[in-house]
Amino acid sequence: MRVVLLGAPGAGKGTHCKRIVARYGLLHLSSGDILRRERAEGTALGKKAQSYMDAGTLVPDDLIVEMMSKAIQAARAGGYVLDGFPRTVRQAEALDRALAKGNNGIDVVINLQVNDNVVVERITGRRSCPKCGAVYHVKNMPPKRDGVCDHDGAALVQRPDDTAEVVKNRLATYYEQTEPVVEYYKARRDVRDVPADGEADAVAATLFEELDALK
């Protein structure tokens, strides 16, 4: 099974990607992880990417697509889940061209649908421990003592990118750049819309129903 997982920031892509990988034995392909690995290993692709990052510019789509298609072609026969990619229609088009050369193309696209207000509540409610990195949520997963880490007693903090203003900017970027990817795939692939406003277990149950139907 070869899956693309799409959704707005805070839709639960990271959480559900882990569940999909565990349930179906798929390979988790994260664009961020692959980029960091290529850089750490000093590969030719990694060095090219590093040159852009050192200059303070975005890594070009073509380079990201090359990295991801390389990882996909190397994926084991059991399949994969793409996480955080493609982010733009241009990336999706380039990925389709790259995958057309092999037999490891996309089977299904899962689109996690979530209300903007839920996104803002989820992300702005996150608190993290500056010492151990543990993550909490003021409503959904609070610490035992308000504002204090369960593990080391450190005062919890809100990350700068978890503020309401930043979240709204991230949502605006998503609607401008990434939501059109859903429509691109709906014209070409099997896309399953999964409501993701609810609790993680309920969302996962619906998601698994959709994926089980493909087997």
Rounded to 5°, the CA angle 40-93-16 comes to: 60
User: What is the arithmetic mean of pLDDT over 161-181?
Assistant: 91
Has 188 been annotated as catalytic?
no
Between 155 and 106, the higher pLDDT residue: 155
Residues 35, 51: Cα–Cα separation, whole Å: 13
What is the pLDDT, as a whole number, of residue 70?
85
Rounded to 5°, the CA angle 39-44-48 comes to: 70
Instruction: Give yes or no for a contact between 156 and 149, defined as CB atoms under 8 angstroms apart.
Output: yes
Ordered by start, the domain boundaries in the chain are 2-115+177-212
pLDDT in tens, 14-27: 889 999 999 999 99
Has 127 been annotated as catalytic?
no
Which candidate in 87, 90, 189, 192 is catalytic?
87
Has 159 been annotated as catalytic?
yes
The top-level CATH class assigned to 2-115+177-212 is: alpha beta
Has 36 been annotated as catalytic?
no
Instruction: Give yes or no for a contact between 114 and 7, defined as CB atoms under 8 angstroms apart.
Output: yes
How many other C-beta atoms can be found within 10 angstroms of the C-beta atom of residue 201?
8
Residue 77 has pLDDT above 70, yes or no: no
Residues 156, 150: Cα–Cα separation, whole Å: 10
DSSP 105-126: ---EEEEEE--HHHHHHHHHTE
The top-scoring range by mean pLDDT among 35-49, 54-68, 119-133 is: 119-133
What is the pLDDT, as a whole number, of residue 158?
94
Has 215 been annotated as catalytic?
no
What is the pLDDT, as a whole number, of residue 161?
85
pLDDT in tens, 78-103: 789 998 799 899 999 999 988 887 66
Task: Give the phi and the psi of residue 102 in degrees, each rounded to 5.
Answer: -125, -160
Residue 67 has pLDDT above 70, yes or no: yes
pLDDT in tens, 97-121: 888 876 667 899 999 999 999 999 9
